[in-house]
Amino acid sequence: MTELRKTLERVAHSIHRRGLTHGRTGNLAVREGDHILVTPTGVSLADVSAAELSVLDADGRHLDGPPPTKEAFLHVAVLQSRPTAQAIVHTHSVHAAALSCLADLDQAQPLPPLTAYYGMRVAPLEVLPYFAPGDKAATEAVQQAATRSHALLLRNHGPVIAGSDLESALDALEELEHTAQIFFLTQGMRTAPLTEHQLAALQPQTPQEPRP
């Protein structure tokens, strides 16, 4: 059994244990060479087993293991659009899901940058229109949005977050959930989101080219 499979099992159990998903909702995916490992359909993240994962090819065809989650196409679409991404975490975490249900959600900035870690790990957050769970008609919209951001919010559904590995994707998901919680706690109060200058200062600095 590979370490990648063990990591996926551990992260799945951690997500459920910390209440970032409920029931049998939520799913994960990770690249393994030319294949994609995905959590199976109908299985709670609390019960995900490293030995019982769905194996897909790069185009989403089921190759081995139990049937994949019906939302596997979301993971495939994001990974196809983001060649450097290695893992995807999708949950229905309460505050992020609540954010996705707001009628007057600002499409350009659905969450104000209230914390530095949101600015570093999440922003920008792309909002997608509503599609029924498992509706593959969402594929094109997901692919396009994923070229602009690793953090997506599905309307009336929940977040889909890509990362360089599962831990990074989970870190970003938790930061999104935490910031959404702060957003709701401060409704009706004046807040002081980070400025564009403050956000820019948080981004990794590109080394300067040496002068000739």
Is 174 known to be catalytic?
no
DSSP codes, 55-115: EEETT--EEESSPBPTTHHHHHHHHHH-TT--EEEE---HHHHHHHT-TT--SS-SS---S
Q: Select which of 3, 9, 32, 71 is catalytic.
A: 71
Q: Show Cβ contacts of residue 23 under 8 Å, excluding neighbours closer than 6 positions.
A: 44
Known catalytic residue: 117? yes
Which residue in the list 32, 52, 117, 167 is annotated as catalytic? Answer: 117
Active site positions, annotated: 71, 117
